[in-house]
Amino acid sequence: MIDQICVGASIGCLYALVAQGFALTFKTTRTLNFAVGEFMAIGAFTCVAISTVAWIPAPLKLGVAAVVVALLACVVFRFLISPFTAAGAHDARWLLVTVALSLLLVDVLRNSQGTTHRALGFAKIGGAADLGFAKVPGQLALMAGVSIALAVVIAIVVTRTPLGITMQAVAEDAETAELVGIDARRVGMVSYALGSAATAVGATLWSAHVGVFPDMGPVLLVSAFAAAVIGGLTSVWGAIAGGILFGIISQLATVWFGSTVGGVAGLLAVVLILVVRPDGLFAQRIEVKV
Amino acid sequence: MSLKSKRMAAVGLAAAMVLAACGGGGSDAKSSDGLEPLVGVIGPKSGAAQFYWTEMTRGLELAAPDMKEQYGVTFKLVEADDKGDPAVAARAVQKLLNTDKVDAIFGPSQSGPSLQVAETIQRTGRPWLVAIAAADEIVDPKASPNWGFRTNNNNTDAINVSGSYLWNSSDSKVGVVYASDAYGQSNHDLLAAYAKDKGLAITASEAIQPGATDVSPAVQRMKSKGVNTVFIAVSTGADTAAIVKAMKQVGLKADRTLATATITAGFTDLTSKEDWESIVFIEPRDLTGPTFMPIVDRYEEKYGEKPSSQVAVYTTYTAAMLYAKAVAEVGDASKWDEIRTAIEDTDKIEIFGRTFESPFGADDHELYEDDASSWFVIGFDDKGDLRTVGPASS
């Protein structure tokens, strides 16, 4: 049972990283990138393309994927998301744009790369990682370790550094932040770049386990979005907790009740949490005087 | 011109028009031209299963020179994209039949779209080559006349042979891991029906979500029930890889682990040597033998890569050769019913050295039978390439 909890937590670390990407962009721009799944696939396919270049070490290959996806995220935010938020908080055209972009990218990937699962070509680890109290497949352990490390670094950057303070300023009141010289759009681009790049790294390591394929995004997206909701859509630490919690709940439910129940147990937990705490478990409640 | 001449010309013109209207038979002028049938090819030209389209069209391309040389037949293709969607397939096949007035239909390549169009094609009456799709119901043996001819094996035949392989001894405790999609569910249900029919029992059945990162809970439950023989019914090699890894993770060592032919798509890329040395699948074609390899070699030579689904290429090639033979015998591709009868009455056809004697009959429109002695157990060698282990009856 301890093994299964650890496996669930390992998968949850990946959900946490993707969920944190959602939290980061929602916190600073009040938008979500629904094409992030295809961004992950683009990152993974980038790695496949350079996997045969022997002189590039594996971490650098992941870095290349991160840079490619970060640049893509910047461009998408600048030209496809930011212009469609201009009409204020009720302007939801960005949602349609990102969903359309998701459909477009997945078709481009299918038609250009084919639909079969491909090997990543590196970062493949066999055997099990012995944690002393439990064993986890080595591939999942690597993915979990890198994902949680990235998630913690991002959370520290967002909550403890000048860049993070700037992000929080934009998150709380973008107009006022601009009055004191903060470029809210640039902060949004940085959020998108950071969140998407980290997500691409985690997903690429995951693809070493399950293969690289154009439709890899949606497999993660629902779970990651649920994790973000559990943690609170504006809390970068909450996303980490939400991801791990979602992973463990899903895994244990599958162990006890089979995949039919396990597949929806995490989502049922989301509904329950939304009923009890509509802002998620870790979101900061802000009282507004009216 | 005199009045009499004008009248004669008018009568002649009218007669010509009537003759032209009556003489078209089943197809118009742009349709077939004797040994150049207008063939409708329908499949997922776009969408998630696009590789089936690639393999189907390449199978036809590889067959083209052989059809020309052996039978003097050349296809004129009309392509239709069903996007892997039954509703789209229904519209596309209507266009092929009624607007393009094709002489024969190849595809759809997937079972869902094929089931959707089956009734329309049977009702309209056009030779229909079901080269890839495997769902039993697509080719209805009770249909009369039956226009559908399948050159792949159907699911029931595959499961019957798989069942005899899985329950090879009285100690067999068979566990089934299947994907919770139509493919997995169908295979599970067919195996359950086989077991019931033979008075056997499935020890454990576990569904998994396609694309799941970890399936160890399902495998753990099978292990706890004492399963010693595993049947894996999932639609991708990646899902098979996840199951095999989970078996290693929880320590489930099966005497026999049997997958389906979907394992060939990506399984060895995602696993290591020790993962694939004990897993096999069952095929009615000897995938590494001299009666199959020539098409793989020709494919690699022509396209510079390995086929994603070599079986789809082979079965499409076979369908093309069968149809071309019938067209050559009848001599006119627009005589659809005669073509249908000619395929049904084919005495034998040889495909890369393998001879199919009387492949079809009035109530048998399936090329393959479920005789285990004519099927093969296929596994992987040290390099991850396919190897023929032996006949499925062993």
Q: Checking phi first, is residue B144 left (phi over 0); if not, alpha (psi -120 to 50) or beta?
A: beta
Cβ burial, residue B117 (10 Å; 0-12/13-18/19+): buried
Nearest to B217 among A209, A219, A254 (CB): A254
Cβ burial, residue A175 (10 Å; 0-12/13-18/19+): exposed
Q: How far apart, in whole angstroms, are the C-alpha atoms of residue A234 and residue A231?
A: 8
pLDDT tens per residue across span B288-337: 999 999 999 999 999 998 888 899 999 999 999 999 999 999 999 999 99
For residue B391, cis peptide bond before it (omega within 30 degrees of 0): no
Whether the CB-CB separation of A234 and A26 falls below 8 Å is answered with yes
Whether the CB-CB separation of A213 and A41 falls below 8 Å is answered with yes
pLDDT of B175 over the 50 cut: yes
**A217: nearest CA in chain B?**
B211
Q: How far apart, in whole angstroms, are the C-alpha atoms of residue A12 and residue A166?
A: 29
Pairing mode, strands B174-179 and B229-233: parallel
Task: Please give the domain boundaries of chain B with CATH numbers for all domains.
Answer: 38-153+291-363 (3.40.50.2300), 160-283+374-391 (3.40.50.2300)
Q: Which residues of B touch A11 (CB under 8 A)?
A: 213-214
Mean per-residue pLDDT of chain B: 88
| Separation of first and last alpha carbons in chain B | 86
Q: How far apart, in whole angstroms, are the C-alpha atoms of residue B15 and residue B18?
A: 5
Percentages helix, strand, coil for chain B, rounded to the nearest 5? 45, 20, 35
Among candidate residues B327, B307, B301, B313, the one with its CA nearest the CA of residue B75: B327
**A260: nearest CA in chain B?**
B207
Q: How far apart, in whole angstroms, are the C-alpha atoms of residue B193 and residue A249?
A: 34
**B224: nearest CA in chain A?**
A255
**Among A44-53, A62-71, B27-36, B191-200, which stretch is predicted with the lowest mean pLDDT?**
B27-36
Task: Could you list the beta-strand ranges (E) of chain B.
Answer: 38-43, 76-81, 104-106, 128-130, 148-150, 174-179, 204-208, 229-233, 256-259, 279-283, 348-351, 354-357, 376-380, 386-391
**Mean pLDDT, to the nearest integer, of A204-225?**
88
Q: How far is A86 from chain B (nearest CA, A)?
A: 35
Q: How many CB pairs under 8 A join A and B?
A: 94
Percentages helix, strand, coil for chain A, rounded to the nearest 5? 75, 5, 25
Q: Which residues of A touch B249 (CB under 8 A)?
A: 128, 135, 137
Three-class SS state of B17: helix
Q: How far apart, in whole angstroms, are the C-alpha atoms of residue B323 and residue B96?
A: 18
A192: enclosing H helix or E strand: helix A184-210
Q: Which residues of A touch B243 (CB under 8 A)?
A: none
Q: How far apart, in whole angstroms, are the C-alpha atoms of residue A236 and residue A19?
A: 8
Whether the CB-CB separation of B336 and B125 falls below 8 Å is answered with yes
Residue contact B216–A7, C-beta within 8 A: yes
Q: Which structure tokens are listed for B35?
A: 């040994």
pLDDT of A103 over the 70 cut: yes
Pairing mode, strands B128-130 and B174-179: unpaired
Whether the CB-CB separation of A247 and A265 falls below 8 Å is answered with no
Q: How far is B307 from chain A (nearest CA, A)?
A: 11
pLDDT tens per residue across span A4-17: 899 999 999 999 89
For residue B145, cis peptide bond before it (omega within 30 degrees of 0): yes
Residue contact A117–B269, C-beta within 8 A: yes
Mutate which of A48, A210, A264, A267 to test chain B, going by most B C-beta atoms within 10 A? A210
Pairing mode, strands B386-391 and B376-380: antiparallel
pLDDT of residue B6: 53
Residue contact B214–A210, C-beta within 8 A: no
pLDDT tens per residue across span A126-166: 778 888 888 888 888 998 999 999 989 988 988 889 988 88
pLDDT of B367 over the 70 cut: yes
Residue ranges of B 181-220 with Cβ closer than 8 A to chain A: 206-209, 211-218, 220
Beta bridge partners of B361: B364
pLDDT tens per residue across span A62-92: 999 999 999 999 999 999 888 887 777 777 8
Q: How far is B362 from chain A (nearest CA, A)?
A: 38
B326: enclosing H helix or E strand: helix B310-330
User: Does residue A114 sit at the B interface (CB-CB below 8 Å)?
Assistant: yes
Q: Which residues of B touch A262 (CB under 8 A)?
A: 217
Q: How far is B169 from chain A (nearest CA, A)?
A: 29
Q: Which residues of B touch A138 (CB under 8 A)?
A: none
Tally Cβ neighbours within 10 Å of residue B4: 8
pLDDT tens per residue across span B211-229: 888 898 999 999 999 999 9
Relative orientation angle of helices A36-50 and A58-76, to the nearest 10 degrees: 140
Rg (CA), chain A: 19
Residue contact B214–A126, C-beta within 8 A: no
**Mean pLDDT, to the nearest integer, of A250-257?**
89
pLDDT of residue B348: 92
pLDDT of residue B125: 94
| Sign of torsion over alpha carbons A268, A270, A275, A281 | positive
Q: How far is B280 from chain A (nearest CA, A)?
A: 20
Nearest to A115 among B48, B180, B208 (CB): B48
Residue contact B249–A137, C-beta within 8 A: yes
The per-type count for chain B, helices as H runs and strands as E runs, is 12, 14
**Mean pLDDT, to the nearest integer, of A187-206?**
91
| Confidence bin at B340 (pLDDT 50/70/90) | very high
- The rounded percent of chain A whose pLDDT value lies above 90 is 29
Q: How far is B275 from chain A (nearest CA, A)?
A: 10
Q: How far apart, in whole angstroms, are the C-alpha atoms of residue A98 and residue B118?
A: 38
